[in-house]
Amino acid sequence: MIRLAGLRVHYGSFAAVDGLDLDIRRGELFGLLGPNGAGKSTTIRVLIGQRRPTAGTVTVGGYDVVREWAAIKPLFGYVPDRENHFEEFTGRRNLEFFGQLYGVPKMRADVVLKMVELSEAADLPVRGYSLGMRKKLLLARALLHEPHILYLDEPTANLDIHSAEVVHRILRERVKAGATVVMTTHDMDEVEKICDRVGIVCRGKLVALDSPLALKQVHTERKVDVTRPDGERLVFDLDSDRSRGELAAVVSGGGVATMRTREFDFHATFLKLTGLAFD
């Protein structure tokens, strides 16, 4: 559905995206992860036609984003990281305005407002909305024309747990209906919870690409922490034969007060892959 081949985007001499190859399948919820300045937002800006690639090709639904932009435009909905509503309009009027541009019936505004649980605030001016409400209104706007592709830039930032759950549910429903969702986020739990696949980018390059579970299994350290009755703490590496043997000896000797396997930690995986920790 979305293919990035050798994508490079330079801001002067700085390479924001440096040879990114990515193939996002139809009907999957894809998470784009990376530290600040990794090139996630630039990649999204290329996908929404707001930044021309310096090199490489990007196709969406088989259309080239540079040469066939007009054909791509109706295919996607976009939720920016920064809210951009008409502050003086009500939530409903904001949606009706964009709905008219998309040529969807007026009733559709009420449907999406209900979907994001903003029906009660629909007739209040947006300037009175909280950050979370504004974020949900952005999602409602992106859903107006039931797009085949959804690009979301940190869609759950500033949302409470319940609202984040609502967003997750909507995204899963869209994927179930056959839409493709690409989202950037800093929330590791969110990635683990809802993403089918995740791509980790760092310094403009793709450093990992797989399902969250597979990434964890490959990259998380498999260790056991043991506390002896006298308070001594020991760590055994399950990937080492010798360490496993030592653990067996300690356990069979009965010298164990507590024993705990380390949980799969996606956060640690991310930090390890991006080279920002555990070096």
Partner 1 sequence: MRWYVIRTLVVKEWQRHLANRGGIALGLLLVAAAVLLSVFAPGESAAAGTGAVGGVRHCFVEFDRPTPLVKHLEDNRPPGLKEQIIFRQLARPDDVNALVAYPTGTAAIQLRQTFASESPTGRATLAVSVRHPDGDPAALAGYEAWLWKELRRACAAGARRAGAAVGDDPNFDRDDWALAEAHKRLQDRAAAGGVAVPDLEVTRHGLGGKVLDLRSAVATGLVVFALYFTCVYLLPTLNCEERERGVLLAQALSPASPAEIVAAKFLFYPAAGLALALTIAAVYKTAVLSSLFFWLALLAVGGGFLGIGMTIATLARTQKAAFLGGMCYLLTVSMLLMICSMNHIPVLPWLAVEYHGPRILHAALDGSVTPYHWYSLLGAAGLAVAWLTAAGWLFRRRGWQ
Instruction: Please give the residue ranges that form the binding site for partner 1 (CB under 8 A).
Output: 48-50, 70, 73-74, 78, 80, 82-89, 93, 97-98, 100-103, 125, 141
Q: CA geometry: angle at 179 spanning 40 and 28, to 5°?
A: 60
**Residues whose CB is less than 8 angstroms from the CB of residue 70 and which lie 6 or more positions away in sequence, other chains included:** none
Residue closer to partner 1 by CB (options 82, 242) is 82
242: left (phi over 0), alpha (psi -120 to 50) or beta: alpha
At 43, which helix (H) or strand (E)?
helix 40-47
**Residue 50 vs 217, nearer CB to partner 1:** 50
Output the smallest distance, CB 128 to partner 1, in A.
13
Closer residue to partner 1, CB minimum distance, 48 or 195: 48
Q: How far is the CB of 93 from partner 1 (least distance, A)?
A: 7
Q: Please say which residue, 53 or 212, places its beta carbon nearer to partner 1.
A: 53
Q: CA-CA distance, 103 to 11, in Å (whole number)? A: 37
Please, what is the minimum distance in Å from the beta carbon of residue 16 to partner 1?
A: 15
Give the SS3 label for residue 6: strand
Q: How many CB atoms lie within 10 A of CB 10?
A: 15
DSSP state of 121: G
Q: How far is the CB of 205 from partner 1 (least distance, A)?
A: 25
Kindly tell me which of 103 and 253 has the beta carbon lying closer to partner 1: 103
